[in-house]
């Protein structure tokens, strides 16, 4: 079972490292910067916010969920507090995602695709760990302690996981 314990640890470490890399990658995706010195654009953004506030909640929801907001509208919404736009936090998150997509075409979709693959890896690692615990007649919550005892020095596995995760999330 010693070789199997390495595979269980390797799968768990890879899942953890890959999730961390994807989270880091997602965090680095930002909307385009707003030029606050451009008075004309600032005026247009204020007008956009005024128009959004004057919409009924249903109109606002339909307008924001179309998924086709231009960069200026996204900037108008994101630069102001929610109270100035009368949108929900969920709607603001959706606008943020659109703004990120404008600034980084395709990058958010790639992160989501990789995230689905990492979720599959996490689920597989969990099932593998549960199956190994069952074979060893251990309760599932005792498996981590068993693995730590079976492989006290896991640095090489962590290094492998970090190397593979960097390649996956690149």
pLDDT digits (tens, 9 = 90+) for 100-117: 999 999 998 899 999 999
What is the average per-residue pLDDT within 1-10?
77
- In the prediction, which pLDDT does 2 show? 57
pLDDT-derived band at 169, boundaries 50, 70, 90: low
pLDDT digits (tens, 9 = 90+) for 71-130: 999 999 999 999 888 999 999 999 999 999 999 999 988 999 999 999 999 999 999 999
- In the prediction, which pLDDT does 102 show? 92
Above 90 in pLDDT, residue 3?
A: no
**What secondary structure does DSSP assign to the chain, as a single string?**
-HHHHHHHHHHHHHHHHHHHHHHHHHHH--PPPP-TT-HHHHHHHHHHHHHHHHS-HHHHHHHHHTS---HHHHHHHHTS-GGGTT--HHHHHHHHHHHHHHHSTTHHHHHHHHHHHHHHHHHHHHHHHHHHHHHTT--GGGHHHHHHHH-S--HHHHHHHHHHHHHH--
- In the prediction, which pLDDT does 19 show? 94
- In the prediction, which pLDDT does 166 show? 85
The position carrying tokens 């962590």 is 158
- In the prediction, which pLDDT does 140 show? 76
| Mean model confidence pLDDT for the chain | 89
- In the prediction, which pLDDT does 52 show? 94
pLDDT digits (tens, 9 = 90+) for 44-56: 999 999 999 999 9
- In the prediction, which pLDDT does 5 show? 83
Above 70 in pLDDT, residue 23?
A: yes
């Amino acid at each position: 079972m010693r070789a199997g314990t390495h595979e269980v640890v390797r799968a768990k470490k890879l899942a953890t490292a890959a999730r961390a890399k994807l989270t880091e990658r997602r965090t680095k995706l930002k909307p385009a910067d707003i030029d606050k010195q451009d008075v004309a654009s600032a005026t247009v953004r204020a007008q956009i916010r005024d128009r959004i506030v004057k919409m009924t909640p249903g109109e606002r929801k339909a307008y924001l969920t179309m998924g086709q907001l231009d960069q200026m509208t996204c900037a108008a919404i994101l630069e102001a507090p929610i109270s100035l736009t009368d949108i929900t936090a969920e709607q603001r998150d959706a606008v943020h995602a659109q703004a990120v997509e404008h600034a980084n075409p395709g990058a958010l979709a790639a992160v989501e695709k990789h995230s689905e693959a990492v979720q599959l890896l996490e689920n597989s690692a969990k099932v593998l760990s549960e199956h190994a615990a069952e074979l060893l007649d251990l309760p599932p919550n005792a498996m981590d302690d068993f693995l730590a005892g079976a492989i006290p020095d896991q640095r090489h596995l962590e290094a492998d996981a970090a190397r593979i995760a960097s390649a996956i999330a690149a």
